[in-house]
Amino acid sequence: METHDVLRLAQPPLKRFAPGALLGLASALCAVALLATAAYLITKAAEQPPILYLGMAMVGVRAFALGRAGFRYADRLASHDAAFRTLRDLRVGVFERLVPLAPDGLAGTRRGDLLSRLVGDVDELQNLPLRVVSPLVISGSVAVLSVVTVTLILPAAGLALALTLLMAFALGTWAQTRVAGRAERGLAPLRGAFTDRVIDLLASLDVLIAYGALEERLAGLDEADRRLTAAVTRQSVGVGVTSAVTLLLAGIASVLALVLGIPALGQGDLNGPALAVVVLVPLAVFEVVGMVPLALGAWRQVRSSAERVASAVPDARPAEIPADVPGIGTDRPAGVSLPGPAILELVNVSARWPNAAVDALENVSFTVSAGDRILIEGPSGSGKTTLAHVLVRFLEHSGEYRLGGVDVHSLAPDEVRRIVGLNEQTPYLFDDSIRQNLLFARDTATDADLEAVLQRVGLADWTRSRGGLDAPVGERGALVSGGQAQRLALARSLLADFPVLVLDEPTANVDPEFADSLIRDILDAAAGDFDSRAVIVISHTPVPADLISQRIRLKARVRREAGETGRPAGDARGSTGPGRP
Amino acid sequence: MKPLDKRLLKYAGAARAFLFTGALLGLALTILVVAFCFLLSQIVVRAIAGDSLDSLMPMLAGLAGVIVLRSIVTWLLDWTSARAGAVVKSQLRRRLLSAIAALGPGWLSRRNATGVATVAGTGLDSLDSYFSRYLPQLILTVIATPIIVLVILFSDLPSGISVLVTLPIIPVFMVLIGWATQTMQRRQWDSLQRLSTGFLDVVGGLATLKLFGRQHRQAARITSITEGYRRETMSVLRVSFLSGFALELAASLAVALVAVSVGIRLIDGSLGLSVGLFVLLLAPEAFLPLRGVGTQFHNAAEGVAASEHVFEILDEAERMPALAPPAAGSPGRDVPTGRLQPAGRLILHDVGVEYAGVPAVSGFTGSFAAGSLSVITGASGAGKSSLIAAMLGFVSHSGLIALDSVPVAAAGGSGTDWVAWTGQRPGLVSGTVLENITLGSGVVDRSLAIRALALASAAEIELDLPLGAAGSGLSGGQAQRIGIARAVYRSLARGCPVIILDEPTSALDSATESSVIDGLKELVRTGRIVILVSHRPGVIAAADARLTVNAPIGVGI
């Protein structure tokens, strides 16, 4: 996606945007008119005209006072409502672009925290109409209208106001850009270094104490903090520059109006009330214009969010991601039939991740028959997860991959995934009840079906102790341990009744002491009464031999560069995902 | 929300200093604002009275001077508050990290580590807007608003009274509205929470949805989630925006009231224009800081909430009974590094560990002979990790843990000099592999590190490979073997007679596991005591001795 596509999605259509912007403009104009009318009222009153003469001004002052607050309230409601409605379209728009690419075609979103950043970025984009476009439109219009009004009263003062406003725009923008730019460039690395050290300290506190390295680490943290704080305090000089400049220019505008207005008053070109208006209007206008630097600051954030969203969603589908071919296979209502004993065949299959220079999986061949229990083993980096993703068509492959004798390229990926299921290494649980986490696998299942499947995966007692099917699993399964998450995921896959089920490292996030019993339970349950189901277990830890009918060992590949594996060290970053007790 | 937490002043000295300078600058700014309004109204009134530009020049120059000074003081206030924010954050962060270190790994393990990391890292950043936007306005509310109201009262009593009458509307309204908003949010909290994370949930689970062929229905689901979110949020916003409405209404109504009342008295000649204009200009200035406090309220609330998390931890650390600090250089085994400190036997006698009165280990007795590889097994929850924590001195224990009849608690240095240990999580830190392996050992000996790696079956890992925070960039198995190598290096470099490894091979395949055991056996042959906690059949088969930990009676698994 291009950045401007993202921004276009984020900006509400004119019909939705206009009411809020117009109400905001009305409120800002009321603010200026309030001060102008009040100044006119007082100076005119000093001439002691009949009171009726000032009736309009008195009504106007009160009306503008009410209008300023009332319009503002209506503006905020209208523009927030518009922003939320646009957020809905934006979220759907981005999501629909994510669907064909997910999960492996999304650049840099394989780690959970990056994915949540993407979502945060999408939501940040609702600030585009609220904090960027609307304030800019409003302050621009107020500035122009005020300049026109003052020019009508005293052309020279109008020109002076226009010039000071332009200077305020230019200087404010320049200062804001410079300060923010310097902060981003200079502070980000220091802040990153500091945060890394904090993570180190917290994740390894026991090790640091046991190794007597705590003092040294705390000293290092102090040093990183000192450097960061020194940089921040150096830059804090620039923080107030924009508002100081705006204030200064507002004052200059009033002084200029006086210098130009007083001679005009003497020559009779101007009367007293008009002078008061010309001198005081700048004060109110600059207050409105003070929104501009803030809007520009918000623009920088919105733009970088839009850029990140755009770069996370590639323009074109990478060659490594299978094309979604809707239509293919729809003439076969029940999907592929699986004739004969060999239901899944791989011949010389290789695959690589998008943007990778080398294959992560090379020349793998094997055949799976109904009822097989196949163990795929091999050291880390040998392509085990890559193989799992090839099997469910998340990744494109070279070589031959046939299901029931049919080349998978002639099937829609969705159709392949109706036959081959996958339990991921870290199963994703939705922030919902146990029931909802199971139902989406087969939405016709009754509570009795669900209880039966929970019994099979060994979670019946656990579910009861949690209060039944309506018990929540927590955000990202936070209320569920790694082993329970694996069992729930298995229950889900059993409900979906895949003829071939791939289990990717079922014990990776499970306490070592539970691993053996878990893998035994899982393989028993996966087989269950349906001996025809084939199960492929991927594991780098040993699996008891009696559970396995065939072993396939993947060879270690050339080590990928650090950080490229996408699979962080087992303990990294104190994740709150399932499996951390 | 309290506008200013006393604990902020207690824990961060810079906050006290800032309040003082801030008050001085606020006073200066107030005087300048009054001077500006006075000079401006005087000049306009005299010009209308017929004074020429030349005769008004001195006043105009004075006005210009006031304008320049006012910008400078405003900038100084912004600068000092931004600066104070940075310094206060740094003071709080340092105290926080020392407090966490003092509370120890036992405390940390009962906490959500990500949450603590966020509080210590970026969580406090919300204090930035608290300091740079909210506190200055709060200071001005306390200083500028009363002074300006007094000036108005003295200049023109009726105007002063109309300002005085309107001002209290603001806090009263704010409190009422804030209260209503809170009640409303509490009522809708659960649904708001779910709706706000709903989109993340759909995107995060996209791979899972695709696996089950459910991805095509999700657009409708996102639409309904977001629509629901909009409806619920708008109903909260309708109330919470009322506070902004009240602020603006009070401020602008005060100006209107002053203008009308001044205008009427000008017409009947009971008031001079100079006073009238002066009062009109001053009236909005009385409301300005209050409006600032109102608009920055949400930013401030975030900052206060973040600092509250910090204060909780700091208070907890302060309440903690001071653990006897390990007596540095106490008598015992303070031997030169490098040479193995020969030890005959590690004995545990009737060792018990309790957490808050609940026994985790009770009555464990066992002994480990020099030159032997022992494995500790036991069901989950039986207390194996607690037993090791007791040996390392992380938790207090009853009974005796002694190395050659000397209780290990008195065995010198950091209390753990006799033992090299690695836990279930390797606990790597950012830096090179070499830095990780030589952690805390004082000496960096490359050839020794290469030997340690080889003994941990990790010879293929380069010493100079840089690791990210918490050792990211490695696979689980690689990280685990570096953890083993680190313990081996410590034992070799400092001559620690005991090596304890907790589930060292859980992420390794069986071939690598047996190669690791071979390496450990080599260390056993030098006379070291090697203790492993493991369930792996390969490890148990290779051990010279097997000890079983049984759960204390009454502890369910």
Kindly report the CATH number assigned to the domain that includes residue A222: 1.20.1560.10
Measured at the CA of A379, the angle between CA A375 and CA A385, to 5 degrees, comes to 65
pLDDT at B324 > cutoff 50: no
Whether B78 has its CB under 8 Å from any CB of chain A: the answer is yes
List the single residue in A with minimal CA-CA distance to B91: A225
Domain contains A204: yes
**Domain identity same for A233 and A364:** no
Distance from CA of A119 to the nearest CA of B (A): 6
Supply the pLDDT for residue A333. 41
Read off the amino acid at residue B353.
V
What are the pLDDT digits (tens) for B30-65?
Answer: 999 999 999 999 999 999 999 999 999 999 999 999
Q: Please name the member of B112, B198, B470 whose beta carbon is closest to the beta carbon of A199.
A: B470
Distance CA B370, CA A519 (A): 36
Distance CA B317, CA B98 (A): 9
What are the pLDDT digits (tens) for A302-334?
Answer: 998 999 888 877 777 888 888 876 544 444 444
What are the pLDDT digits (tens) for A323-369?
Answer: 876 544 444 444 455 555 568 999 999 998 887 788 888 889 999 98
**What tokens were used for B101?**
């270190």
User: In a 3-state reduction of DSSP, which class is residue A218?
Assistant: helix
Domain contains A502: yes
What are the pLDDT digits (tens) for A18-53?
Answer: 999 999 999 999 999 999 999 999 999 999 898 888
% of chain B exceeding 70 in pLDDT: 89
Q: Minimum mean pLDDT among A2-16, B184-198, B211-225, B446-460: which range?
A: B184-198
CB spacing of B470 vs A203 below 8 angstroms = yes
Domain positions in chain B are: 6-156+271-319, 345-548
Distance CA B135, CA A420 (A): 60
Looking at every residue in chain B, the average pLDDT score rounds to 84
Q: Report, in this order, helix, strand and coil percent for chain B, each rounded to 5.
A: 65, 10, 25
**Domain identity same for A364 and A280:** no
Cβ distance A360 to A353 under 8 Å?
yes
Cα distances (Å, whole numbers) of residue B77 to A245, B17, B305: 14, 13, 24
Of B78, B131, B143, the C-alpha closest to B286 is: B143
**Domain identity same for A304 and A352:** no
Distance CA B538, CA A73 (A): 72
Scan residues 527-546 of B and list those with Cβ closer than 8 Å to A: 534-538
Of A203, A41, A343, A573, the C-alpha closest to B256 is: A41
What are the pLDDT digits (tens) for B140-166?
Answer: 999 999 999 999 999 999 999 989 988
Residues of A in contact with B85 (CB under 8 A): 236
Residues of A in contact with B486 (CB under 8 A): 211
Q: Minimum mean pLDDT among A261-265, A283-287, B214-218: which range?
A: B214-218
What are the pLDDT digits (tens) for B495-537?
Answer: 889 999 998 888 888 888 999 999 999 999 998 999 999 888 8
CB spacing of B203 vs A42 below 8 angstroms = no
Supply the pLDDT for residue A338. 56
- Mean pLDDT, residues B319-330 taken together: 48
**Domain identity same for A488 and A348:** yes
**Contacts (Cβ under 8 Å, ≥6 apart) of A562:** B465, B466, B467, B473, B474
- Mean pLDDT, residues A436-440 taken together: 90
Residues of B in contact with A576 (CB under 8 A): 112-114
Distance CA A71, CA A202 (A): 50
Distance CA A278, CA A283 (A): 10
Domain contains A319: no
Q: Minimum mean pLDDT among A229-238, B276-285, B361-370, B402-411: which range?
A: B402-411
Of A110, A9, A51, the C-alpha closest to A426 is: A110
Domain contains A328: no
Q: Please name the member of B113, B200, B244 whose beta carbon is closest to the beta carbon of A574.
A: B113
List the single residue in A with minimal CA-CA distance to B113: A574
**What tokens were used for A395?**
């990744």
CB spacing of A204 vs B508 below 8 angstroms = no
CATH code at A413? 3.40.50.300
Give me the number of domains chain A comprises. Answer: 2
Half-sphere exposure of B386 (CA within 13 A, CB side): 24
- ipTM of the shown complex: 0.81
Supply the pLDDT for residue B353. 86
Top-confidence residue, A125 or A526: A125
pLDDT at A200 > cutoff 60: yes
Domain that holds residue A358: 342-574
**Domain identity same for A486 and A536:** yes
**Any alpha helices (H) in A420-562, and if so which ranges?**
434-439, 447-456, 460-466, 482-496, 512-527
Cβ distance A308 to A120 under 8 Å?
no
Whether B395 has its CB under 8 Å from any CB of chain A: the answer is no
Top-confidence residue, B537 or A153: A153
Whether B105 has its CB under 8 Å from any CB of chain A: the answer is yes
pLDDT at B294 > cutoff 90: no
Preferred mutation among B203, B230, B432, B481 to probe A, highest tally of A CBs within 10 A: B203
What are the pLDDT digits (tens) for A478-525?
Answer: 667 777 888 899 899 989 988 899 998 888 767 666 777 788 888 887
**Domain identity same for A515 and A555:** yes
Report the Cα B526 to chain-centroid distance in Å. 46
CB spacing of B536 vs A512 below 8 angstroms = yes
Overall CATH class of domain B6-156+271-319: mainly alpha
For residue B460, count CB atoms less than 10 angstroms from its CB and return exposed for 0-12, middle for 13-18, buried for 19 or more.
exposed
Supply the pLDDT for residue A316. 78
Report the Cα A534 to chain-centroid distance in Å. 38
CATH (one of 3.40.50.300, 3.40.50.620, 3.40.50.1820, 3.40.190.10) for B345-548? 3.40.50.300
Q: Minimum mean pLDDT among A60-74, A210-224, A460-474, B119-133: which range?
A: B119-133
pLDDT band at A107, cuts 50/70/90?
A: low
**Domain identity same for A403 and A299:** no
Are β-strands A398-403 and A373-377 bridged in parallel, bridged antiparallel, or unpaired? unpaired
- Mean pLDDT, residues B59-88 taken together: 94
**Domain identity same for A271 and A378:** no
Domain contains A486: yes
Distance from CA of A199 to the nearest CA of B (A): 6
% of chain B exceeding 90 in pLDDT: 35
Scan residues 269-288 of B and list those with Cβ closer than 8 Å to A: 269, 272-273, 276-277, 280-281, 284
Cβ distance A581 to A510 under 8 Å?
no
What are the pLDDT digits (tens) for A452-484?
Answer: 999 888 888 888 888 889 988 876 666 677 778
% of chain A exceeding 90 in pLDDT: 37
Top-confidence residue, A64 or B132: A64
pLDDT at A440 > cutoff 80: yes
**Domain identity same for A173 and A229:** yes
Domain contains A326: no
